[in-house]
A and B are shown apart, each in its own frame.
Chain A
């Protein structure tokens, strides 16, 4: 892949934004490497858009600093920040043709006529819209409009490209197609991208790193696989993907710290406590989180789950719902200490029905212990939680 421009480094240092008495963003610090694709992910009102608006210059931070390529841009007007941006609502100039829209930033940056023509042709080619140069935006479909917006944003090779939920106005099929395009364009251009989304799948699919926002604060920063398998807290674990959450406590034992399930009579293999050693967890109430693909669900027919393989454990749970989703079957399960979602591949999915009691088993190395402080709502884990930082557990070995 040849890259045309070079991406900019972006550094946010302890940025805060207050609107009156409301804190929209608190202590946001972030380092983005040149050429990196970073997503700001969170529910609405979590501060991700406010943060993007401060990078763009639409909002000035109440305190803190923003630097692009080590140049402090706090207080520098938007038009001198050298950024490209794609908006959720496209924001194409309705009185200009597709070609003139893409040409607009080139004019503002003082490109000559020939350079402009060449750059417009190249940008439209990049988004595969060369044939639509003379159309008006009103004559285009939603997907085409967003491609034009993308072409306009990349036309003058900005070192930093901001995207504010660019795909959320499009339907699912179009969204996936454009995701692919955005990945390709990012690879080809080598531009640094900051991408705001509330869609976890989009963030997982596109990003080098994800910044998870909630309540105006950064909850965790990391690569998609890291956030998914080692979420820092309850909020991150629930926001990124499905999971089972079980309540329990961290206590000291002879060998060190261990996590004990709250309701240990749930043990499938008759009685006794269920516990496993953990590292660096805080003592006291906690919960454990296991991703659906790491749990095995089996009907209780004599041979109980949790037996056999060393390093695994298991509990009894009741199936509340079974949803067939094509490649997998989703089971919503509930047990005295918690519940959540288990997925089994369609080919090996046991045939159980709602209300039936089943055994769940998992590799203890795949269970993550989180600090407990969440408001419990439903068994499927669809809840918003005020999460706290958690400790590390055993799985890093």
Chain B
């Protein structure tokens, strides 16, 4: 029994390492003293972080990404929650059809989506604009909210709403004061995932960005073409910290739901 346990642990450790090692390699690289992305790094220095925060292209990219991701999280959460709630009230085929349409951006190849969006945005003058990014990223993020809120709704006791109505609350009031608080764990975790989806989105963003409005991942891609220095590793580390924090937030929201039982 003990031996098989050890084997299991070793196997898990190897697989885990295999999954996260490439990510972890980036962190020491960003502290490299040399102007090189060679591993292992040599010495220790913060110069690439200094470079990142003093360069308006890098730092501006980070600010753009954060702004877009926060706004997208809000938009996608509101729309996705309403969509999931609406779907839960619709029976049978219409529910399945609606859900599949809403979730399809998760499955459709980003390149296809990006080309199509670029064609439309060119005409509308939305390329390289904040509204353009918000529209594109919201479409990509709504599925995550629909899924997380939908799974919370599956265990939602609809009698709670009936109880609120009987207590004298109108449908809208009952939704705000009873349904939303009860769904809050799912809504919060959906918001975190929407944030992550927008924050590290590259492919579609490359199509719709312009020199005037670039997100951080797009800036990194552009950077790879021209100069390769550890600033890109510093940027990657910052992205990783942000998305990890958001993911932990999402997981904690799910815990909140379990504790309430």
Contact = CB atoms under 8 A, between A and B. Distances in A.
B157 A84 contact: no
Contacts of A138: 260-261
A17 to B, nearest CB: 17
Nearest to B167: A105
A56 interface: yes
B166 A85 contact: yes
Interface in A155-180: 156, 162
Interface in B132-182: 157, 159-160, 162-171, 173-174, 177-178, 181-182
Which among A95, A109, A153 has the greatest number of chain B C-beta atoms within 10 A?
A: A95
Contact of B157 (A83, A89, A104, A162): A89
Interface string A91-103: 1111110000000
A85 B168 contact: no
B163 A93 contact: yes
B163 A79 contact: no
Contacts of B184: 95
B169 A87 contact: no
Contacts of A87: 159, 162-163
Contact of B165 (A79, A152, A153): A79
Contacts of B159: 87, 89, 91
Contacts of A104: 164, 167, 169, 177
Contact of A78 (B165, B182, B261): B165
B182 A79 contact: no
A108 interface: yes
A152 B182 contact: no
Interface string B42-66: 0000000000000000000000000
Interface residues on B, range: 20 to 34
Interface string A48-68: 000000001110000000000
Contacts of A83: 166
Contacts of B164: 93, 104, 108
A77 interface: yes
A79 B168 contact: yes
Contacts of B165: 57, 77-79
A91 B160 contact: yes
B261 A84 contact: no
B163 A85 contact: yes
A108 B168 contact: yes
A69 to B, nearest CB: 17
B232 to A, nearest CB: 45
Contacts of B171: 77
A97 to B, nearest CB: 13
A66 to B, nearest CB: 15
B182 A95 contact: yes
B178 A93 contact: yes
8 contacts: A79-B165, A79-B168, A82-B168, A92-B163, A93-B163, A93-B164, A96-B181, A108-B168
Given A57-B165, A84-B166, A95-B260, 7 more contacts: A79-B166, A79-B169, A79-B174, A91-B162, A91-B163, A93-B160, A162-B166
Give 3 nearest A-B pairs by CB, closest first: A108-B168, A105-B167, A91-B163
